[in-house]
Amino acid sequence: DAGVIQSPRHEVTEMGQEVTLRCKPISGHNSLFWYRQTMMRGLELLIYFNNNVPIDDSGMPEDRFSAKMPNASFSTLKIQPSEPRDSAVYFCASSRRGVNTEAFFGQGTRLTVV
């Protein structure tokens, strides 16, 4: 399996622009997570889905952030409009329910908003 695939790997955008991050989870996994990593705040959970349904979006910082999972193999995280403080590495992770399950992380998208 190719693992969790995220795109793009790097994104540089101007303040005010819309940014869309994409994620393809591991096939057969039914939970998907979006995390953000910054030096100041560490790793924070933004939102997670079970069976394509958003379960907890309490970590989404503002209404500027939205996430969708239209099917089991694809999810997007959108920021509109973007701001410099959104600069971070955004990770997508997926997992499968089970006793020994663990979350597998994608390579991340490094977002820079200038």
Work out which of 14, 16, 18, 43 binds other proteins, going by CB under 8 A.
43
Q: Please state, as a whole number, how many other Cβ atoms lie within 10 Å of the Cβ of residue 25.
A: 26
Question: Does residue number 99 form part of the binding site for other proteins (CB under 8 A)?
Answer: yes
DSSP 25: P
Q: Does 1 bind other proteins (CB under 8 A)?
A: no
Minimum separation from the CB atom of position 9 to other proteins (A): 10
Residue closer to other proteins, measured from CB, 14 or 97: 97
> In whole angstroms, how close is the CB of 45 to other proteins at the nearest point?
6
Nearest residue to 54 via CA among 24, 76, 81: 76
Distance CA 7, CA 20 (A): 9
Task: State yes or no: residue 25 binds other proteins (CB under 8 A).
Answer: no
User: Of these, 27, 97, 112, 114, which contacts other proteins (CB under 8 A)?
Assistant: 97
Beta strands in 39-107 (DSSP E): 42-50, 53-56, 65-71, 74-79, 88-95, 104-105
Which single residue is written with the structure tokens 């099917």? 71
**Contact residues: other proteins, CB under 8 A:** 31, 33, 42-43, 45, 48, 50, 55-56, 91, 93, 95, 97, 99-108
